[in-house]
Structure formats: structure tokens, C-alpha cells
Amino acid sequence: MAYLSSGSATMLAETCHSLIDSLNQGLLFLGIKQSSRTPDQKYQYGYGRARYFYSLVSALGIFWVGSFSVMYNGIQTLIHPITESFTSNNVATEHSLTESIAASHHHLIDKESWSYSLLSNFMPDQMVTTMICNYGLVTPVVLFISLIIDGGVLLSVIKDLKEEKPKDMGILTYLKGIQDPMVLAVLLEDLAACLGVFIAFGGIGMSVYTNNLVYDTVASLAIGGLLGVVSLSLIELNKNYLIGRSIDSKTEARVREILMRRESIEAVYAIQSQWLSPTSFSITIEVDFNGHYFCKVLKELGYEKEFIRKGKDVKELMKLLNWYTEDVTKAMEREIIDIEDDIRRQIPEATFIELEPSSNLTNFRIVEYLLSDSRRD
């Protein structure tokens, strides 16, 4: 309404901004709803990345519908302003001037509602440029209401973020590591909305004060640029997580620390991970299990005594060896489950964990023993 009554490029920018914000809320809601679905046969790792997809669509909407269209309109207004030029030899009357500008702006405008302002820029040929724009009372009232609403939402979001972040971490540090695009989208959009209102007040105020609508147009370009920065930031964030961004080095170091505290783990090699949603990631870890640990576990089960007692009975010994190998596998399975539970207790975001046994030995122990000099002796 403020744009239709004033024809201001800045108010058009704010109108586009408000429209984009409203549409984005619907997209973000769809993303939250779909990402909350449980994993199924078709999507076994869940639907968590739906958040990143819908947030990416939202960011693209901000860029094309918001930033690009607003800046395009602002540039066009600078190149082809709503003006009427006349010289000392061809003076247009106030009546014909109003009609021509109204027609060029494609608005059915009441002539009584238009206010006139002259840009004091006399060219060598005594050309004078006349610009017309009527802000009225609607424009500042709409901007003030927008500031109250957007400012209240922004303060609420900042308050929630302060409550969620660790007490020993600054708010900026917390925001740099945030994985949820929805939270960042709401924060950046509300921040841009508040800054946009201040820019609009400044541009319109300068236009009224100087009788120069260039300030109004420049303000619309600034709002478009602000929307562009927000959209590109969100596009970059969502792109990284859709591609498969890995966990940070601190989290990876914590995983290594948990593993190396286990008696069953001799070494930790490669770690591969990727975020599946803002609250879950999958991780694959190559580990070298300690054979002595599992030998001790099976010894406590009584295998040592049985090997000694049945050592001369080949048939019974082979039967015992079959049991032993099966129980080694079972002991390793139980240890892996225990390790995964240990990691999840300390890092709840580690939803999918896969431990891959990996040894730096190329041969079996028995083969190395049979080929060794000590065996030949």
C-alpha cells in the first residue's frame, strides 16, 4: 500500500522483502516437517537433508525475487527516472507535467495527491529535471510498524540463541559453527529486515530533505544488496551440507580420544564423516583392534584350560578352535556395540557409526611365525 501510494523505489524494495519473508516461512515450515520423518527403506539415513534443500530454495528465492528484482528496478530507476525535462524555450506547465509523469509511471493518480520537488541541477542548456513522489503519512507509519515487528522477532531469536549456546562460548563463535540453516535463515532475514527499515528511513528522509529522489533509489539498491548478501550466505551454507560437509576437527578429535581410551583399540586411522541433518551425522572409522585384549577376554571364559586339556585330541582341538574363532567374532561385535554406545553418550549427534577393522599387517600372524627364523630353529 505504501509503495502504491508513493511510487517509491525504496518502498518497492521493502515490499519485495516482506513478501519474500512471508513466502520463506512457508518453505522453512515444509523443510522442518519433512526432515522430521523417520528413516525408511527408501531413505535409510533419514530425511534430515530436507532442511538444507528447502532452505536452499528459500535462499534462491531471496536472491532472484528479492535482491535481483529490487536492484534491477533500482538501476532502471536511476537510468530512466520519473522525470520531465524542459528548457527555457519549452516550458511545461504544472498541469501537463503532472499528467505526463503519471502516465509514464503507469499509475492512475489523483493530481491533487502529487507533491512536486525540483532538483537544483541547471545544465548549460538551462535544463531542469523535475521529480515527483508523494510519500505522505502512510510510508513512515508502515516503516515504523515493520521496525517494531521485525525488531521484536530479532530480539526473540537472539535471546533463544543465547540460551542454547554453551555458557563459555561467545554468540558469534556459536553462530559460525551452527548447522541448522533454518535458525540462521530466520536470524539473517530478521536482521536484514531491521537494517532495511533503517536504510529506507535514511533514503526517504534524504530525498524529502534534499528534494532529490536519487537517495530513494540508492536506498532501494542498498536494500537489494543487503538481500543479496543474506541469500548468498545461506546458499553457501546449504550447499556445503547438501554436498556432505564433514564434522569439525574438534569433534573428530573427541571421537579419537574416546576410541584410544578403549583397551580394545590399538590405533585409529582414517575417519570419514558427513552431516545428515543439523542434529545428526554419520561417521566411518578405520581402527586396528588389539588382539591381546580379545585373547584375554576369551581366556577368562576358560579357553586356556580347555586348550591344555584337549591339546592331544586333534578332533576335540579342532572343535575347540571353531568355537574360539566364533567367540572372537562375538567378542568383537559386543565391543563394537559398546564403543558405539560410548560415542553416542558423549556425542549425541553421532547417529550412524561404522567401525571398520583395519590392520597394518599384510600377512597373518601364523604365516609370519612359520616364515620366521625362530620357527626354523
Residues 6+ apart with CB under 8 A from 139: 2, 5, 6, 8, 11, 204
Q: Hey, is 194 helix, strand or coil?
A: helix
Domains 2-82+133-243 and 249-376 share a fold: no
Helix 214-243 crosses helix 69-79 at what angle (to 10 degrees)?
A: 150
**Mind listing the pLDDT tens digit for each residue in 102-153?**
343 333 333 333 333 333 333 333 333 344 556 667 777 888 888 898 889 8
Q: Hey, is 289 helix, strand or coil?
A: strand
Give me the pLDDT at residue 23, please: 79
Q: Where are the beta strands (DSSP E) in 105-216?
A: 116-119, 128-132
Q: Could you count the other beta carbons within 10 Å of the beta carbon of residue 291?
A: 13
Q: Hey, is 1 helix, strand or coil?
A: coil
Average pLDDT over residues 320-332: 91
Give me the pLDDT at residue 6, please: 52
DSSP letter, residue 140: H
Give me the pLDDT at residue 336, please: 95
Contact 298, 328 (CB under 8 A): yes
Strand order, beta sheet including 83-86? 83-86, 128-132, 116-119
So what's the architecture of 249-376 in CATH?
A: 2-Layer Sandwich (3.30)
- Residue ranges of the domains in the chain? 2-82+133-243, 249-376
Domain 2-82+133-243 indexed as CATH 1.20.1510: yes
| The most confident of 60-69, 308-317, 347-356, by mean pLDDT | 347-356
Residue 251 CA to residue 80 CA, distance in Å, equals 55
Give me the pLDDT at residue 259, please: 96
Give me the pLDDT at residue 284, please: 96
Percent of the chain with pLDDT over 90: 24
Residue with cell 527516472: 81
| The most confident of 2-11, 297-306, 365-374, by mean pLDDT | 297-306
Answer positive or negative: Cα dihedral of 102, 107, 112, 118. negative
**Of all helices (H) and strands (E), which one includes residue 282?**
strand 280-289
Phi then psi dihedrals of residue 150, to 5 deg: -65, -35
**Mind listing the pLDDT tens digit for each residue in 150-192?**
889 889 988 888 888 888 888 888 887 788 888 888 888 889 8
- The length of the chain is 377
